[in-house]
Amino acid sequence: MSVIEFRIDRRSGTPPYLQIVDQVQQALLLGRLREGGRLPPAREVVAVTPINPNTVLKAYRELEHLGLAEGRVGAGTFITRSTARPQVDPRGELGVALGDWLRAASAAGLSRQEIETWLGAALDDVFTPAAPAPPSGSASNNLGRTR
Protein backbone atom coordinates (compact mmCIF):
# COMPACT_ATOMS: atom_id res chain seq x y z
CA MET A 1 0.00 0.00 0.00
CA SER A 2 1.40 3.33 -1.02
CA VAL A 3 1.69 6.12 1.50
CA ILE A 4 0.39 8.58 -1.06
CA GLU A 5 -2.34 8.35 -3.69
CA PHE A 6 -2.54 11.02 -6.36
CA ARG A 7 -5.82 12.57 -7.38
CA ILE A 8 -5.98 14.11 -10.81
CA ASP A 9 -8.67 16.70 -11.42
CA ARG A 10 -9.55 16.47 -15.10
CA ARG A 11 -11.35 19.83 -15.07
CA SER A 12 -8.42 21.67 -13.51
CA GLY A 13 -6.41 23.94 -15.78
CA THR A 14 -3.23 22.67 -14.07
CA PRO A 15 -1.39 20.01 -16.11
CA PRO A 16 -1.57 16.58 -14.45
CA TYR A 17 2.18 16.34 -13.84
CA LEU A 18 2.09 19.62 -11.88
CA GLN A 19 -0.89 18.35 -9.89
CA ILE A 20 1.31 15.41 -8.80
CA VAL A 21 4.20 17.76 -7.94
CA ASP A 22 1.82 19.94 -5.88
CA GLN A 23 0.42 16.93 -4.05
CA VAL A 24 3.89 15.62 -3.17
CA GLN A 25 4.89 19.05 -1.89
CA GLN A 26 1.72 19.22 0.16
CA ALA A 27 2.36 15.75 1.59
CA LEU A 28 5.91 16.84 2.46
CA LEU A 29 4.72 20.00 4.18
CA LEU A 30 2.15 18.09 6.20
CA GLY A 31 4.68 15.39 7.10
CA ARG A 32 2.81 12.58 5.33
CA LEU A 33 5.95 12.00 3.25
CA ARG A 34 9.39 12.17 4.83
CA GLU A 35 13.03 12.07 3.84
CA GLY A 36 13.98 8.60 2.62
CA GLY A 37 10.38 7.78 1.73
CA ARG A 38 9.81 6.09 -1.62
CA LEU A 39 7.40 7.54 -4.14
CA PRO A 40 5.09 4.93 -5.67
CA PRO A 41 6.44 3.56 -8.98
CA ALA A 42 4.61 4.69 -12.12
CA ARG A 43 3.02 1.25 -12.50
CA GLU A 44 1.39 1.51 -9.07
CA VAL A 45 0.21 5.07 -9.66
CA VAL A 46 -1.50 4.30 -12.98
CA ALA A 47 -3.03 1.11 -11.58
CA VAL A 48 -5.11 3.46 -9.43
CA THR A 49 -5.22 6.77 -11.29
CA PRO A 50 -5.74 6.50 -15.06
CA ILE A 51 -3.06 8.82 -16.43
CA ASN A 52 -0.16 8.27 -18.80
CA PRO A 53 2.76 6.54 -16.99
CA ASN A 54 5.16 9.08 -18.50
CA THR A 55 3.24 11.86 -16.73
CA VAL A 56 4.23 10.28 -13.42
CA LEU A 57 7.87 10.08 -14.53
CA LYS A 58 7.74 13.71 -15.66
CA ALA A 59 6.42 14.75 -12.25
CA TYR A 60 9.19 12.82 -10.50
CA ARG A 61 11.83 14.44 -12.72
CA GLU A 62 10.39 17.82 -11.77
CA LEU A 63 10.65 16.88 -8.07
CA GLU A 64 14.29 15.90 -8.66
CA HIS A 65 14.82 19.23 -10.38
CA LEU A 66 13.35 20.98 -7.32
CA GLY A 67 15.84 19.08 -5.14
CA LEU A 68 13.10 17.23 -3.28
CA ALA A 69 13.60 13.73 -4.68
CA GLU A 70 16.24 11.50 -6.21
CA GLY A 71 15.89 8.63 -8.66
CA ARG A 72 17.97 5.55 -7.84
CA VAL A 73 18.55 3.14 -10.71
CA GLY A 74 16.42 0.05 -10.35
CA ALA A 75 15.12 1.06 -6.95
CA GLY A 76 12.70 3.92 -7.59
CA THR A 77 12.41 7.57 -6.64
CA PHE A 78 13.04 8.65 -3.06
CA ILE A 79 12.41 11.80 -1.07
CA THR A 80 15.73 13.47 -0.28
CA ARG A 81 14.58 16.51 1.59
CA SER A 82 11.87 16.77 4.14
CA THR A 83 10.08 20.09 4.21
CA ALA A 84 7.77 19.20 7.05
CA ARG A 85 7.29 22.16 9.40
CA PRO A 86 6.49 21.30 12.98
CA GLN A 87 4.35 24.45 13.05
CA VAL A 88 2.03 22.86 10.45
CA ASP A 89 0.11 20.72 12.89
CA PRO A 90 -3.67 20.82 13.06
CA ARG A 91 -3.43 20.32 16.84
CA GLY A 92 -0.68 22.93 17.35
CA GLU A 93 -1.21 26.53 18.39
CA LEU A 94 -1.49 27.85 14.81
CA GLY A 95 -3.62 24.93 13.69
CA VAL A 96 -6.12 25.38 16.52
CA ALA A 97 -6.28 29.15 15.89
CA LEU A 98 -6.88 28.56 12.18
CA GLY A 99 -9.57 25.97 12.86
CA ASP A 100 -11.30 28.30 15.34
CA TRP A 101 -11.19 31.19 12.87
CA LEU A 102 -12.58 29.09 10.02
CA ARG A 103 -15.41 27.75 12.15
CA ALA A 104 -16.23 31.28 13.33
CA ALA A 105 -16.29 32.51 9.72
CA SER A 106 -18.54 29.63 8.73
CA ALA A 107 -20.83 30.22 11.70
CA ALA A 108 -21.07 33.88 10.65
CA GLY A 109 -22.62 32.65 7.40
CA LEU A 110 -19.68 32.87 4.99
CA SER A 111 -19.52 30.20 2.28
CA ARG A 112 -16.37 28.21 1.57
CA GLN A 113 -15.84 30.22 -1.60
CA GLU A 114 -16.25 33.52 0.20
CA ILE A 115 -13.77 32.44 2.86
CA GLU A 116 -11.29 31.37 0.17
CA THR A 117 -11.63 34.70 -1.58
CA TRP A 118 -11.08 36.56 1.67
CA LEU A 119 -8.10 34.38 2.59
CA GLY A 120 -6.60 34.93 -0.87
CA ALA A 121 -6.90 38.70 -0.52
CA ALA A 122 -5.50 38.60 3.02
CA LEU A 123 -2.55 36.50 1.82
CA ASP A 124 -1.91 39.00 -0.95
CA ASP A 125 -1.84 41.80 1.63
CA VAL A 126 0.75 40.00 3.74
CA PHE A 127 2.95 38.57 0.99
CA THR A 128 2.57 40.83 -2.03
CA PRO A 129 5.23 43.49 -1.33
CA ALA A 130 8.15 41.09 -1.78
CA ALA A 131 6.43 38.44 -3.88
CA PRO A 132 7.38 37.87 -7.53
CA ALA A 133 4.79 37.90 -10.29
CA PRO A 134 2.05 35.32 -9.77
CA PRO A 135 2.50 32.05 -11.65
CA SER A 136 0.95 31.46 -15.04
CA GLY A 137 -2.64 30.37 -15.00
CA SER A 138 -3.74 33.45 -13.09
CA ALA A 139 -3.70 35.60 -16.20
CA SER A 140 -7.31 36.54 -15.61
CA ASN A 141 -6.46 37.93 -12.17
CA ASN A 142 -3.64 39.89 -13.74
CA LEU A 143 -5.93 41.48 -16.21
CA GLY A 144 -8.42 42.22 -13.47
CA ARG A 145 -5.82 44.16 -11.55
CA THR A 146 -4.37 46.16 -14.41
CA ARG A 147 -7.73 47.39 -15.53
Partner 1 sequence: MTTSPHAAHQPDTAAAETDDVLRIRKAGKRFRSGWALRDLTLTVRRGSITALLGPNGAGKTTLLRAVSGLLDLTEGTVSFNGRQVSSTGTPERISFLAQDKPLYRRSTVADMLQIARHLNVRWDAALARRLCDEAELNQRARVGALSGGQRSRLALAIAFARRPELLLLDEPLADLDPLARLEVQQTLLSTVAEQGTTVVLSSHILGEIEHVCSDLAVITDGRVSLRGETDEVIDGHTLLIGPGSEPAALQWIPREQLVEVRRTPRQTAVLLEGPAPLPPPGWSAERPSLDEIVIAQLRRSRGTAVAGLSDLDSAPTREAS
CB of 137 to partner 1, least distance (A): 7
Given 33, 37, 60, 63, the residue binding partner 1 (CB under 8 A): 60
Nearest distance in Å: CB 16, partner 1: 5
Nearest-approach distance from CB 104 to partner 1, in angstroms: 34
- DSSP annotation of 11 reads T
Beta strands in 49-138 (DSSP E): 69-72, 76-79
- Residue 84's nearest CA partner among 37, 27, 20, 36 is 27
Shortest spacing between CB 110 and partner 1, in angstroms: 26
Q: Which of 1, 7, 43, 87 is close enough to bind partner 1 by CB under 8 A?
A: 43
Within 13 Å and on the Cβ side, how many CA atoms surround 35? 7
Q: 42 in helix, strand or coil?
A: helix
Long-range contacts of 93-96 (CB under 8 A, 24+ apart): none
- Window contacting partner 1 (CB under 8 A); options: 21-29, 38-46, 107-115, 119-127: 38-46
23 binding partner 1? (CB under 8 A): no
Question: Residues 80 to 139: which contact partner 1 by CB under 8 A?
Answer: 137, 139
**Reduced to 3 states, what is the DSSP secondary structure of residue 71?**
strand
